[in-house]
Amino acid sequence: VVDIRKLYAEAGVFTYDPGFTSTGSCESDITFIDGDEGILLYRGYPIDQLAAKSSFLEVCYLLLYGDLPNKEEMTKFDYTITHHTMVHEQLASFYRGFRRDAHPMAVMCGVVGALSAFYHDSLDINDPRQREIACVRLVSKIPTIAAMAYRYSTGLPFVYPKNKLGYTENFLHMCFSVPAEEYVVNPVLAKALDTIFILHADHEQNASTSTVRLAGSSGANPFACIAAGIACLWGPAHGGANEAALKMLETIGTVDRIPEFIRRAKDKNDPFRLMGFGHRVYKNYDPRAKAMQIQCHAVLDELGQHDDPLLHVAVELERIALQDEYFVEKKLYPNIDFYSGITLRALGFPVSMFTALFALARTVGWIGQWKEMLEDPHQKIGRPRQLYTGAQQRDYVPLDAR
């Protein structure tokens, strides 16, 4: 008879790390985070510099290929991505199989998984050429897929991409064009959304990226792996926090009610937490939150909404919390989600699209990490162990003898 406790006792070193808070699962050249200092680098470049000076498409190139492109490389990449934005026409029927009120994340999860039923020439993960095609297809088609999910939910017809538009402009066009009118993309709003995409593009081994890597480690095809990442991101503790932050600001409503909510956030008997505050890794100001705040002000100014009461609540809440001993001691600072909900709402997106926009932006990070994993000679199938806490070995007892 196996004595399970004795086996554990003799097993030597065994790491039990719920939530993997101190377990590295891979080596990666892509993203660096110093949570104590509030530093985030993509391939060595600080996020604030990329947010201010780069474009999302350039950041896609950087994440996928390791370096910023020169002019010729950028032109070629732009052309390639732009000319792969269309999806297979039959996918439209796939969308029509969903209820109109389906959550866009449910639709995206299904549609991205279904890409593996359409693009058979990019499923062989052992062929570098096919891997490359899969990366290009995912980055170029994901805005079309997200926009179609949005259009389907509103009952409006799907809009084809326009090749003369840039990546983010094209996405806005596919979301907001109305057949009877000429839609003109506002450059300030497009820049804000492009920056939001940059800020969400990668964040090392977070839950959804780890999910993509784990699914990919078994040799699953890239579209199935990204669908797994979308499923994980959908959770409120991961991709859904900006929605929760916006709802919280709406609940607080006016500046004079902030002290009451600060009090509640500090009360251990109250489950309420300040949404958009605190982070598992950042024990300092989330560097993405600063860039997000800049874009939030730019969008509201452009739209003449700088008097948005939610912005006033957010700014004042941040000011009060950052001076409060509880938040200072626990190193709770605003995270990326604190200002993103207000910004996305002002851009015209319904709350149900917030996580879908996150998925759109994170797709390049996911597929870049997937590609890196497959190119890693040390790559193995992911197989965490467990600490068994169940019954000792025992003999089966027939039903009538129990």
DSSP state for residue 29 in the 8-state scheme: S
Burial call 94-115: b when 16+ CB within 10 Å, e when fewer: bbeebeeebbbbbbbbbbbbbb
Region from 162-170, 220-228, 290-298, 329-337 binding ligand ACO, contact rule CB under 6 A: 329-337
Interface residue with ligand ACO among 110, 143, 166, 278 (CB under 6 A) is 278
Q: What is the nearest approach in angstroms of ligand ACO to the Cβ of residue 82? A: 29
Contact residue for ligand ACO among 337, 339, 344, 359 (CB under 6 A): 337
Count of CB atoms situated within 10 Å of the CB of 399:
5
Does residue 243 interact with ligand ACO by CB under 6 A? no
Which amino acid is present at 206? N
Interface region with ligand ACO, contact rule CB under 6 A, candidates 31-39, 65-73, 172-180, 330-338 = 330-338
Q: Which of 194, 279, 286, 308 is catalytic?
A: 279
For tokens 């994440």, what's the residue?
63
Q: Is 247 in the site for ligand ACO (CB under 6 A)?
A: no
Residue 129 in contact with ligand ACO, rule: CB under 6 A = no
Binds ligand ACO by CB under 6 A, chosen from 238, 290, 297, 312: 238
Q: Which is nearer to ligand ACO, 21 or 393 (CB)?
A: 21
- Region near ligand ACO per CB under 6 A, out of 128-136, 249-257, 327-335, 393-401: 327-335
Kindly give, in sequence order, each residue whose CB lies less than 8 Å from that of residue 89, ignoring residues fewer than 6 positions away.
Answer: none
| Span from 66-74, 112-120, 214-222, 331-339 in contact with ligand ACO (CB under 6 A) | 331-339
Strand locations in 119-258 (E)? none
List of residues 6+ apart from 219 with CB closer than 8 A: 125
- Which of 172-180's residues contact partners 24+ apart within 8 Å by CB, and which partners? 174/143, 174/144, 174/147, 174/148, 175/147, 175/150, 175/151, 175/348, 175/349, 176/348
Tell me how far, at minimum, the Cβ of 294 lies from ligand ACO, in Å. Answer: 18
- The CB-of-158 to ligand ACO minimum distance in angstroms stands at 30
Residue 279 annotated in active site: yes
**238 versus 297: smaller Cβ distance to ligand ACO:** 238
Cα–Cα distance measured from residue 174 to residue 148, given in angstroms and rounded to the nearest whole number: 8
Interaction of residue 330 with ligand ACO, rule CB under 6 A: yes
What are the CB-based long-range contacts (under 8 Å, 24+) for 389-392?
A: 392/3, 392/4, 392/5
163-201 in b/e form (b: 16+ CB < 10 A) is: eebbbbbbbbbbbbbeeeeebebeeebbbbbbbbbbbbb
Report helix, strand or coil for 66: coil
Sequence-separated (6 or more) residues with CB below 8 Å from residue 11:
none
Minimum CB–partner distance for residue 376 and ligand ACO (Å): 26
Q: How many whole angstroms separate alpha carbon 204 and alpha carbon 311?
A: 30
Cα separation, 109 vs 232, in Å, equals 10
- Pick one of 115, 225, 336, 359: the residue that binds ligand ACO (CB under 6 A): 336
From the CB of 236, what's the least distance to ligand ACO, in Å? Answer: 9
Phi, psi at 384, each rounded to 5°:
-60, 155
308 makes contact with ligand ACO (CB under 6 A): no
Q: Which segment (46-54, 73-81, 106-114, 271-279) binds ligand ACO by CB under 6 A?
A: 271-279
In whole angstroms, how close is the CB of 352 to ligand ACO at the nearest point?
Answer: 18
Asked whether 318 and 338 are in contact (CB, 8 A), the reply is yes
- The span of 48-56, 110-118, 328-336, 378-386 binding ligand ACO (CB under 6 A) equals 328-336
Residue 232 contacts residue 211 (beta carbons within 8 Å): yes
Q: Does the protein bind ligand ACO through residue 273 (CB under 6 A)?
A: yes
Among 280, 319, 328, 350, binds ligand ACO (CB under 6 A): 280
**Quick check: 332 binds ligand ACO (CB under 6 A)?**
yes
Contact residue for ligand ACO among 38, 143, 276, 287 (CB under 6 A): 276
Interacting residue ranges for ligand ACO, rule: CB under 6 A: 238, 241, 265, 273-280, 330, 332, 335-337
